[in-house]
Amino acid sequence: MYLCIMVQNMSDEDMSLLVKAERYCANEEQCRTSVRKKLCDWGASVEASTKIVNRLVDQGFVDEKRFARYYCSCKLRTQKWGRLKVIYQLRAKQVPPKYITEALTDVTDEEYRSILRTVADDKWATYDPDEPLVKRKAKLSTFLASRGYESEVILELLPQMGC
C-alpha cells in the first residue's frame, strides 16, 4: 500500500525519472549516492530524488550490500586495486562500513596477495634494469601504495620478489 500511495503522489515527470532510474540500475549495480547524483544530473528535485531512491530500494533495484560486493569484486579482481583504495571509494559513495567490511572478506588473503604480486611483477618489468635497485624498489613501493595496497603487504612482498 505504501508504494501505491507513493506512486500516486508522483508527477508524470517524476514517474518518467523513476523509469529512467530503474533502467539505469538494471544495467549495473548502483548505490544510493550514484543514483541520487544521476537523478540530480537529470534535473530531479531533492524531494523527488529521495522518493525515487526509496522506491528503488524497496523494489530491490538498489541494494547497498549487493553493490559493495560487486564493487569490491570488480575493483580488486579486474582493476587490481588494493583494499585501501576500494575502502576509500566506497566510503566516498557513503556505503555503510559493515557492508564494506563484509564485501572485502569475499576476496581471500591468498587471492589478494596473488593479485598484488601480479601487479608488482608487471610494473617491475617496466623499470630500467640499469637503474639502481634502491630507486626501483622505491618507485615500486610508491606505485603499489598509490594503487591502494597496504604498506605492510608491500614490505612483505619486496623480499619475495628478490628486491
Distance CA 10, CA 43 (A): 15
- Residue range 59-110, pLDDT digits in tens: 999 999 999 999 999 999 999 999 999 999 999 999 999 999 999 998 999 9
Give yes or no for residue 4 having a pLDDT over 80.
Answer: no
Q: How far is residue 153 from each of residues 64, 82, 98, 139, measured CA to CA in Å?
A: 28, 10, 23, 16
Instruction: State the fold for domain 2-62.
Output: Arc Repressor Mutant, subunit A (1.10.10)
| Averaged confidence pLDDT in the chain | 91
Residue 81 near residue 147 (C-beta atoms within 8 A) = yes
Contact 107, 80 (CB under 8 A): no
What cell numbers appear for 120 in the block?
608488482
pLDDT in tens, 119-141: 999 999 999 999 999 999 999 99
Is the per-residue pLDDT at 8 higher than 60?
Answer: no
